[in-house]
Amino acid sequence: MTMSIRQIDPLLAIANAIVLLFQAALVLATAALLIALPAVQFFWDDIIAGVRTEMADPAFVLPLVPVTALLIMALGIVVLLFLFLQNLRRIIRTVGQGDPFVPANADRLTGMAWIMLGAEMLSLFMMGVGYRLVSMLPATDADPVQADHGFGLDFSGPILILTLFILARVFRQGAAMRADLEGIV
């Protein structure tokens, strides 16, 4: 008889609910980006006219291509994060069923590592494009654009990716050991 996540561990039920909530937020973000992409294309002249008025700079130019690229990369990251969480929910389900050391979870963890690597790469590209766009903005006394746009070091992404690859091997080894043990019995 399989038990539900709630019957096994309340923490797993809470984790599952939080992951579902995050996935719902990512679905909303995806919808917003899918609406924003064509809207920006269609209303670009109006957007730039509003920015020029706000900045009191009728000659201000902001290229559409990098803004579109930022939106597309953001959409890619949102979709990747949704897929990451989908794999996490599947792992939570197997833990709740009392059978986490299955080959599928090793594959899921490996997939999650690759997903996060893709998201990290997209975020690096986004930083570069964003830096380029910010550098195009004029600095004013009221709202100066900082000259120092140095990249802060954040090792959490690479550490997460390495951890996921290692956990995938642990789960793969655990599944193999369990299969060997079942073969003996």
66: confidence class by pLDDT, cuts 50, 70, 90: very high
Average confidence (pLDDT) over 89-118: 94
For residue 79, how many C-alpha atoms fall within 13 Å in the half-sphere facing its CB? 11
Average confidence (pLDDT) over 37-59: 90
Query: What pTM did the predictor assign?
Result: 0.83
Amino acid at 61: V
d(CA 131, CA 44): 20
Positions of E strands within the chain: none
Identify the weakest region by mean pLDDT among 24-38, 56-70, 77-91, 97-111: 56-70
- For 114-168, the pLDDT digits (tens) are 999 999 999 999 999 988 888 887 766 555 555 455 556 788 999 999 999 999 9
Average confidence (pLDDT) over 76-82: 98
1: confidence class by pLDDT, cuts 50, 70, 90: very low
Residue 133 vs residue 35, higher pLDDT: 35
- For 2-12, the pLDDT digits (tens) are 555 546 588 99
Identify the weakest region by mean pLDDT among 29-43, 46-60, 75-89, 91-105: 46-60
Yes or no: say if 106 and 89 are a contact pair by the CB < 8 Å rule.
Answer: no
Confidence check: pLDDT of 25 > 90: yes
Q: Percent of the chain, pLDDT > 90? A: 62
Question: How big is the chain by its Cα radius of gyration, in Å?
Answer: 23
What is the structure's pLDDT at 136?
80
Structure tokens at 182: 């079942």
What is the structure's pLDDT at 122?
96
